[in-house]
A and B are shown apart, each in its own frame.
Chain A
Amino acid sequence: MSGAGYVITDDVLSSHYDEESVLVHLHSKRCFRLNATAAEVWRGLEAGLSREEIAGRLCARYEVESDTAAAEAARLIGELAKNGLIREAGAGEE
């Protein structure tokens, strides 16, 4: 998945607060509350950034090692994909 862009699926609604975000998946009727770090990743996905670019944003914001940021971004993106909120660009076009 390295370097791949991600696409937010049509079924997802989102709202951003100061630090956090709330996501609603219409198909599964599930709500997700994202903490500040996850919300930062989500904003990156909404902006159409790749995983590396999102990790770069985490590094800049939280002053963490690039490896740590990349691992955290990959973990969060995996979680989001597992829950059907995003998919890899070009995979399973709806």
Chain B
Amino acid sequence: MLAAARRAGRRLARGARGGEPSARGDDDIGRAAAGSDFKSRLERGRLCALVRGAFAQRVEPVALGLWAGYRAPRWLEGSRLRELLDPPAEVGEGAICAEGEHDPAVRRGRLAARTAVWLLGRAPGPARNTCLYRSIAEAEVLRRYGIPAVVRLGFAPADGVADNPSGHAWIELPDKGPLDQAATNSAGRYQPVTPARENRP
């Protein structure tokens, strides 16, 4: 009785390891065990994919956006902003989104970046909650996702005061123009500045 149980156990283990089932009547036990193992692996795989997906779609973009908002003031040190005014030579250290700027992860990243700038603008420090800081942070998020966003600076000639022209910053995509409706409105109202050396006729 005990020996028979051991044999059955060995067969079960062999079946679970994916070994050849025996040609006897207890094959069903091995198949059932293998099936159960496959199912648990499948569930584990699904769980992993779910966790990875949640991380890529929610945690990563939010973290990226917050980080970009925190780093925004650094882009204003020296002439570093110039890097964001020109289209990048190469884009995206991270994954390139199939849906581009409309990808939910990208939208979450942009929202997180704006939120970070808003929060940091209220705290003591160099950050300010202005269009320039928001545009810088969002452009960094977009570039991380492989979207070659550029920051545009513009001035409104009509309501500019002599010593203090009315300025604005927004984001554009080189091939598509302004990124969203707000940027489209800005682009219509403000005339962008361009590198002066390139204005040579």
Interface residues of A (CB under 8 A from B): 7-18, 20, 22-24, 26-27, 29, 31, 33, 46-48
Contacts and interface: CB of A to CB of B under 8 A. Distances in A.
Contacts, number: 66
Contacts of A33: 160, 162-163, 165
B192 A15 contact: yes
22 contacts: A10-B79, A11-B79, A11-B82, A12-B197, A13-B153, A13-B194, A13-B195, A13-B196, A14-B196, A15-B154, A15-B192, A15-B193, A15-B194, A22-B155, A23-B193, A23-B196, A24-B153, A26-B82, A31-B164, A31-B165, A33-B160, A48-B200
A15 B196 CA distance: 8
Interface residues of B, number: 26
Given A22-B155, A27-B78, A33-B162, A10 B193 contact: no
A22 B197 contact: no
Contact of A27 (B79, B85, B192): B79
Nearest to A18: B157
A18 B158 CA distance: 11
Candidate in A13, A23, A47 with the most chain B CB atoms within 10 angstroms:
A13
Nearest to A42: B196
Given A26-B79, A33-B162, A14 B157 contact: no
Candidate in B76, B194, B195 with the most chain A CB atoms within 10 angstroms:
B195
